[in-house]
Amino acid sequence: MGLVSLLQDGALDYFASLSEEVQSNLKQTVAALEVRFGTAKCVMQAHAELASIRQQPGEATRDFADRVRQAGREAYQGVAAGDPAVEATVVSRFVCGLRDEQLRMEVLTKDPTNLTEAVEVADKFQRQQDALRAMRPPTGGFATMAEC
């Protein structure tokens, strides 16, 4: 079968594990491979989605991180969890997709090695920003020394 010569690594191993009946039927073989590995279109689409992912207005940072994590899983199906190259890509897409430039810079300067670390940095920074905002006087008024 000509298809076998195109298979590599895990796909070739998976093909070898299929029954002879499935191996001898091109449609069944293709269907089995698509179930196991997805289609090229789906993988390419998942990579495109990951590459263009952006935090939506009003979307919480953790919710955005969850979307990035899911997009990464879809784009890198079959890659072992924690793969350093995939983690670097997912963290990069998270950082680049953040709406708040100050937050983006803060996470970037901390150089997180995985998405969990990146989210922790983002959460800490956002808590600090919230505390600073709470300490500011109300807009339109001036704080007196007694208020500070």
Q: What is the CATH number of the domain that holds 55?
A: 1.10.1200.30
> Is a pLDDT exceeding 70 seen at residue 145?
no
Residue 77 CA to residue 79 CA, distance in Å, equals 6
Question: Which range of residues forms the domain containing residue 92?
Answer: 41-135
In a domain, 108, yes or no: yes
- C-alpha distances (whole Å) from 17 to each of 7, 29, 34, 36 are 13, 11, 15, 12
In a domain, 61, yes or no: yes
Q: What is the pTM of this model?
A: 0.65
9-13, 72-76, 92-96: the lowest-pLDDT one? 9-13
| Tens digits of residue pLDDT in 104-144 | 999 999 999 999 999 999 999 999 999 998 988 776 655 55
Residue 7 CA to residue 65 CA, distance in Å, equals 34
In a domain, 147, yes or no: no
**Based on the domain organization, do 45 and 98 belong to the same domain?**
yes
Structure-model confidence comparison of residues 120 and 81, the more confident one: 120
| Tens digits of residue pLDDT in 18-72 | 999 998 888 898 888 888 876 665 788 889 999 999 999 999 999 999 999 999 9
